[in-house]
Structures are given as structure tokens and as C-alpha cells.
Amino acid sequence: YGFELSYRNKNLFGYIIQFDYSYLYSGEKDVLTFEIYDPSPNPNPNRFLYTDVSLTFNNLDITVNGDFGSIFSFGFGPSFAIINRSIIVEKADIDHDDFIDRLSSFGIGLKGLIEMRVPFSTDISYWYFYSGLKFRYLYGMLYDEGLRDLDDYNQNFVTTNLAIGIGYNF
């Protein structure tokens, strides 16, 4: 889930330029479950570790748009993102702390979109129904290494976002 804020200028250097900021979150609890082997005669009943994973994107997109007629448009442009990934291994044994691995990174890439805007009126300034499909490729460039050696590490993301909402043209 997430949200997006957009500003579209219809006459910037003779082009339709659109600026988007979006926040996207994806998380899953108990992605992996590990059982701890305990050979003692009185095994600990809390022999399981549970893994949670989350991923957040803060994206800034700049798009040059073109029209497919009165309600459809398309666009292409660069995309910039701050990406936060968390892996948390919850230990069922109370005597131990959870293992938490967090990584922040900066990514740059390309995005393309197809949009539909259906106006509610024919006035100069009007409300409209918005629907859009956005495709984005991001390449991780900078990583918050901390004490880790990430020389051979890379991350790439391909995302698709469907947006539905209400907009205002002024």
C-alpha cells in the first residue's frame, strides 16, 4: 500500500512535465520459520524462530508526458528512490534478543506510465477521476553499509504500481 502526490505542468519548456512523490510499503510476517534442534532430554518448547520482512520506497519521479487523445496519456522519465529493507528474526526464546538487519539504499532508474483522467465537468478548473499504471526499474547505487562489507552486493527492483484517485486541474 502507499500514496502518491503529483504535480503536472502543461507548458514547461513546451512539454508536459509531471513530478511525482510516492511512498510504498510492503511487509510480510512469518515469511520463514526455523526450528532449533535441541537434543537435550527436556527440550525447550519455544524452539522456533520467525522471520518478518519489510520494504519501503520513497520515490521521486520526473516524467515527460504525451497524450493519446482527450483522456489517456503516457510518460517516461527518470526515477530516484530511497529504499529501506528490514529483516527481523523474532526469537521465541525470551533469553535472547531479536536479530534485526536493516539496509538503507539510494536507487536511480527509469519509469514509464499510462494514465487515464476522466473530468467531472467541462470547466477550465475541474475535478477528475484518475487511474494510472506505472512501471519502474531501480538500480541500487549507494548503501548504508554500517560495519558490513557490501562491495559485491547489489539490488535491483522492478515494480508495477496501480493508482486510483481523484485529482484537480487548476
Res 63: pLDDT:
94
Distance of CA 86 to the CA centre of its chain: 13
User: Quick one: cell of 144?
Assistant: 548504508
In this predicted structure, which of 8-17, 40-49, 161-170 has the lowest mean pLDDT? Answer: 40-49
Tell me which residue of 115, 170, 104 sits closest to 143, measured CA to CA. 104
pLDDT (0 to 100) of residue 43: 60
Q: Tell me what pLDDT residue 127 has.
A: 93
Contact status, residue 20 vs residue 6, Cβ threshold 8 Å: yes
b/e sequence 26-56, b meaning 16+ C-beta within 10 Å: eeeeeeeeeeeeeeeeeeeeeeebbbbbebb
Segment 117-137, tens digit of pLDDT: 999 998 888 999 999 999 999
- How far, in Å, CA of 70 to CA of 122, rounded? 12
Q: Which of 1-15, 29-43, 94-108 has the lowest mean pLDDT?
A: 29-43
Per-residue CA distances from 21 to 59, 84, 152 (Å): 6, 16, 30
Whether the pLDDT of residue 12 is over 80: the answer is no
The residue behind cell 483522456 is: 71
pLDDT of residue 41: 67
- Mean pLDDT of all residues in 105-115: 95
Residue 31 has pLDDT above 90, yes or no: no
Given a cut of 70, whether residue 116 has pLDDT beyond it is yes
